[in-house]
Amino acid sequence: MHTTPMREATVRFPEKLRLRTPRGLSAALELAAGRNHTSPAEWARQALLRGLAAEGVSLRDGEVKPTE
């Protein structure tokens, strides 16, 4: 039996964020994510990035910059 050597996993999102949320938010995230054929975590990441952009904040390659 041929086995492939284990490769190191690349962590695409190395930081974690923990939030206190109103009741029902997890279910709402699942519903919204399902409508967009994505995971709740990815939907929340994208929504947060859109919110930051709306506030004039850019996050690219780990660098935070104000937008004009």
pLDDT value of position 13: 87
pLDDT band at 68 (very low <50, low <70, confident <90, very high): confident
* DSSP secondary structure letter of residue 38: S
29, exposed or middle or buried, with CB in 10 Å at 0-12, 13-18, 19+?
Answer: middle
Q: Is the pLDDT of residue 1 over 80?
A: no
Evaluated on CA atoms 15, 40, 59, 21, the torsion sign reads: negative
Mean pLDDT, rounded, for 11-33:
93
